[in-house]
Amino acid sequence: MPIKKRSAETREICARAPIIPVLVVHDVAHARPLAEALIKGGLPVLEVTLRTPAALEAIAEMAQVEGGIVGAGTLITPQDVSRAMAAGARFGVSPGSTDALLDAAEAAGLPMLPGAATATEAMRLLARGYDMLKFFPAEASGGAPALKSLAAPLPQIRFCPTGGVNPDNAGSYLSLPNVACAGGSWVAPDDLVKTGDWDRITALARAASVLPRAA
């Protein structure tokens, strides 16, 4: 499948909700109820980062929850792509991009949200066929003003800013015409996950799910 068509699939995934929860799962037992709580709250697209030994099993558990679209984050190597897909990931997210990583994702047919922090990185990905990108690390890279400055010269590209996005600044990102959604971890804080306070997580998700986006 052409890369542009895969990138269009990623755009469709990002259009599902204004916020994609960025999840670091330490205990597989939390995976299913966490996914259920977030989906119930209106956030169906979930990114499980490959930062813990439990991540792949968590993806496998979450992939079975009805109504959800589970992806794998922090993809770095071609091996990460194959392991994530074997676990049931339906899309991949990377902090940056290398030819080896993108080659592997393209060969496997995995829709990707590749990371870019500069105009040059974004242009290189656009030339390859990617027009839905992750802007990372968002706050450290200039935040909403930096993304706003990219809109005029690169109107073809939509972004999902991640990294330092929180309830206080999410609105400034989502108001930009080149932002499709944003990634954030605040909807599933570690303390609530550890105590199994799924109702509170659902409430946080519900609040995030109605954040307004640019038309």
- Interatomic CA distance for residues 119 and 103, integer angstroms: 22
- Interatomic CA distance for residues 194 and 124, integer angstroms: 41
Place of tokens 């200039």: 142
Q: Exactly one of 36, 40, 61, 134 is catalytic; name it.
A: 134
Label residues 134-166 b or e (16+ Cβ within 10 Å = b).
bbbbbbebbbbebbbebeeebeebbbbbbbebe
Contact, 61 vs 53, CB < 8 A? Answer: no
Helix (H, G, I), strand (E, B) or coil at 92: strand
Residues 6+ apart with CB under 8 A from 200: 192
Helix (H, G, I), strand (E, B) or coil at 212: coil
Q: Exactly one of 36, 40, 47, 106 is catalytic; name it.
A: 47
Per the annotation, the verdict on 47 as an active-site residue is yes
Structure tokens of 44?
């169906």
Per the annotation, the verdict on 134 as an active-site residue is yes
Give the residue numbers annotated as catalytic, written as ranges.
47, 134
